[in-house]
């Protein structure tokens, strides 16, 4: 089962407090999930399909709560594609009563205004929209995306308005014959899911986000340490080259004893970092020195080696 479907099925267990909430929830489901067509008797037919048995049962239960005497048919068919072996269909032959009640083909401004003015009804409407037309990416991926789909332009604007009334910044795009209202910020996705009633799956999402962040931070630290060690090794190799040159050709008795000291420490601790060398100098030689001070001495060793090599090369030419 996909993560999005798990979220939707969790929403079917949210407690509905009032009859008005049930009606608004069903309104959203009818508006955004059911297809509308005309029968031969010129009455409206309504149809909805889902791969989820719990969602099917939930919608039928809700339908009978709001319209106790409504007649419907339930069908099940095999679909060997899209990893959905079974589709459940809710079919309402005579949907005129529902169409009229929810003003599907009329100006429903008054109903929408009532929803906007009531936070519980806003949540219920968005819950219904998500159950039949919502989607959210699996949190195990780093591509965060949540969306609501509808085929009606004014409905898309209304859904966007409801989402943004909670302080979000949902956007709308067109995908084929559908309008998509979406969020891509992971915190906003967690928050809107929690607002409409998804709690268990949001907790799992936040766990996955934290796990992925911990793993990413650990990898970053390892890569950082490896990069630093590579730099240290390269720097060690370079300074060791100059130390070997001075030991072979330069009269060491003329060198500053402090330079001779760090040359000796570096030779004996080739894998050590600057911090580790400073600790060795302090503990074994009673020499307090900072990393910048140690770097300065290494640069001085390099300068002396290069100058002396240049001088020897000139002498050899003459």
* pLDDT tops 80 at residue 234: no
Highest mean pLDDT among 50-64, 133-147, 197-211, 274-288: 50-64
pLDDT tens-digit series, residues 111-141: 999 999 999 999 999 999 999 999 999 888 8
* pLDDT tops 60 at residue 318: no
List the chain domain ranges: 3-198, 213-317
The pLDDT of residue 81 is 62
The pLDDT of residue 42 is 67
Nearest C-alpha neighbor of 257 from the set 200, 299, 301, 310 = 301
Token pair belonging to 193: 């899911």
CA atoms within 13 A on the CB side of 82: 8
* pLDDT tops 90 at residue 298: no
The pLDDT of residue 192 is 95
Tell me what percent of the residues of the chain surpass a pLDDT of 90.
43
Q: What distances in angstroms separate CA 195 from CA 119, 147, 154, 157, one per listed residue?
A: 10, 15, 23, 19
**What is the pTM for the complete model shown?**
0.69
User: What is the mean predicted confidence (pLDDT) over 78-99?
Assistant: 81
Token pair belonging to 288: 């307090």
pLDDT tens-digit series, residues 138-176: 888 878 999 999 998 999 999 999 999 999 999 999 988
DSSP assignment of 129-167, as one string? HHHHHEEE--TTSS---EEEEES-HHHHHHHHHHHHTTT
Nearest C-alpha neighbor of 288 from the set 315, 256, 261 = 261
Dihedral angle at the C-alpha atoms of 183, 184, 187, 189, nearest 10 degrees? 40
The CATH number of the domain covering residues in 3-198: 3.10.28.10
Nearest C-alpha neighbor of 28 from the set 104, 87, 109 = 104
pLDDT tens-digit series, residues 242-272: 888 888 888 888 888 888 888 888 888 877 8
Highest mean pLDDT among 81-95, 136-150, 219-233: 136-150
């Amino acid at each position: 089962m996909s993560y999005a479907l798990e979220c939707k099925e969790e929403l079917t267990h949210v407690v509905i407090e009032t009859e008005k909430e049930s009606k608004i929830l069903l309104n959203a489901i009818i508006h955004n999930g059911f297809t509308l067509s005309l029968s031969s008797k010129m009455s409206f037919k309504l149809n909805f399909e889902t791969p989820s048995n719990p969602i099917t049962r939930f919608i039928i239960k809700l339908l009978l709560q709001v319209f106790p005497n409504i007649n419907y048919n339930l069908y099940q068919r095999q679909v060997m594609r899209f990893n959905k072996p079974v589709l459940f269909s809710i079919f309402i032959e005579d949907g005129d009563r529902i169409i009229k009640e929810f003003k599907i083909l009329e100006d429903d401004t008054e109903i929408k205004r009532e929803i906007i003015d009531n936070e519980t009804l806003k949540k219920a409407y968005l819950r219904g929209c998500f159950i039949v037309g919502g989607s959210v990416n699996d949190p195990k991926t780093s591509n965060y995306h949540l969306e609501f789909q509808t085929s009606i332009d004014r409905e898309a604007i209304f859904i966007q308005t409801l989402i943004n009334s909670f302080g979000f910044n949902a956007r709308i795009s067109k995908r084929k014959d559908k309008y998509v209202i979406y969020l891509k910020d992971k915190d906003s996705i967690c928050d809107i899911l929690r607002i409409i009633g998804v709690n268990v799956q949001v907790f799992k999402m936040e766990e996955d986000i934290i796990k992925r962040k911990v793993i990413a931070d650990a990898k970053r630290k390892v890569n950082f340490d490896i990069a630093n060690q590579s730099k240290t090794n390269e720097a060690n190799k370079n300074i060791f080259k100059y130390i070997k040159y001075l030991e072979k050709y330069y009269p060491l008795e003329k060198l500053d004893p402090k330079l001779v000291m760090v040359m000796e420490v570096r030779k004996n601790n080739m894998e050590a970092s600057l911090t580790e060398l400073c600790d060795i100098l302090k503990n074994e030689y009673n020499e307090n020195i900072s990393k910048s001070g140690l770097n300065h001495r290494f640069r001085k060793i390099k300068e002396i080696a290069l100058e002396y090599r240049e001088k020897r090369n000139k002498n050899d030419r003459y």
